[in-house]
């Protein structure tokens, strides 16, 4: 199922203080859909609240963790873990440590079976409802750049006529893409190497 946009055409219309025609509303929503996809790709997160069933390879814990195995749930924040099964066997012997799901007890087989780590299937609810305001604002900004200035105009003089392009002097084209400033704002939510920076209060 497609993920919902991070902002709506109605949100953009309020920002601009205008009423869209049906054609303008459709264009605005299409741009917001694109901006939402770009943001999700950068963050590696679904962002919006959802329930997912996914299967992970269990890894051995570090010696300081008194458990049999660990999986890291990639979608954040984790709101609720609904079910857990190890190699197809349902278990209630688990607990959460941040975004790590720790399996209380499991016998790791000897070789050659040991070369095939257990598979853990988890159904869990994750994401934000509502979408954090700064993420929604960036989706609106990215879409609005194209809506109000589809040719990305920046100053230049051609044949005595002055034209202005929105492309910065650094050569960084914007459009339905993210600026460096927007990326810095989003970095607090970004998942890198299996982690995410922070969870809003």
| CA-based max dimension of the chain | 80
Question: Of 46-55, 113-122, 163-172, where does mean pLDDT reach its minimum?
Answer: 163-172
Residue-averaged pLDDT of the chain: 86
Enumerate the domain spans of the chain: 9-46+130-157+176-196, 50-126
Q: What is the pLDDT of residues 170-191, one digit of tens each?
A: 444 556 889 999 999 999 999 8
pLDDT, residue 189, reads 95
Residue 52 has pLDDT above 90, yes or no: yes
Closest CA to 50 of 118, 106, 131, 109: 131
pLDDT tens digits along 95-127: 999 999 999 998 877 676 666 899 999 999 999
The more confidently predicted of residues 82 and 2 is: 82
pLDDT tops 70 at residue 160: no
* Cis peptide bond N-terminal to 163, omega within 30: no
Q: What is the pLDDT of residue 195?
A: 44
pLDDT of residue 116: 83
pTM: 0.80
SS (H, E, C) the chain: CCCCCCCCHHHHHHHHCCCCCHHHHHHHHHHHHHHHHHHHHHHCCCCECEEEEEEEECECCCCCCCCCEEEECCCCCEEEEEEEEECCEECCCEEEECCEEEECCCCCCCCCHHHCCCEEEEEEEECECCCCHHHHHHHHHHHHHHHHCCCCEEEEEECCEEEEEECCCCCCCCCCCCCHHHHHHHHHHCEECCEECCCCC
pLDDT of residue 95: 97
Q: Which pLDDT band, with edges at 50, 70 and 90, does 38 fall under?
A: very high
The pLDDT of residue 165 is above 90: no
For residues 11-33, average pLDDT: 94
Q: What percent of the chain has pLDDT over 90?
A: 67
Q: Residue 110: what pLDDT?
A: 66
Contact indicator for 32, 8 with CB cutoff of 8 Å: yes
Using CA atoms, how far apart are residues 118 and 74, in angstroms rounded to an integer? 18
């Amino acid at each position: 199922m497609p993920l919902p946009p991070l902002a709506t055409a109605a949100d953009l219309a309020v920002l601009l203080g205008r009423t869209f025609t049906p054609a303008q509303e459709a264009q605005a929503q299409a741009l917001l859909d694109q901006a939402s996809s770009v943001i999700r790709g950068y963050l590696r997160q679904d962002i919006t609240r959802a329930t997912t069933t996914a299967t992970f390879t269990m890894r051995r814990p570090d010696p300081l963790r008194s458990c049999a195995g660990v999986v890291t749930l990639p979608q954040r924040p984790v709101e609720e873990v609904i079910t857990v099964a190890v190699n197809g066997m349902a278990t209630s012997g688990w607990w959460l440590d941040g975004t790590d799901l720790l399996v209380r007890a499991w016998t790791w087989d000897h070789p050659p079976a040991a070369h095939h780590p257990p598979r853990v299937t988890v159904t869990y609810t994750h994401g934000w409802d509502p979408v954090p305001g700064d993420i929604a604002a960036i989706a609106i900004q990215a879409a609005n750049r194209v809506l109000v200035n589809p040719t990305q105009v920046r100053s230049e003089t051609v044949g005595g006529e002055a034209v202005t392009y929105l492309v910065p002097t650094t050569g960084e084209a914007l459009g339905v893409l993210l600026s460096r400033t927007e990326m810095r704002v989003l970095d607090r939510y970004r998942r890198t190497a299996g982690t995410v920076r922070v969870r809003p209060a």
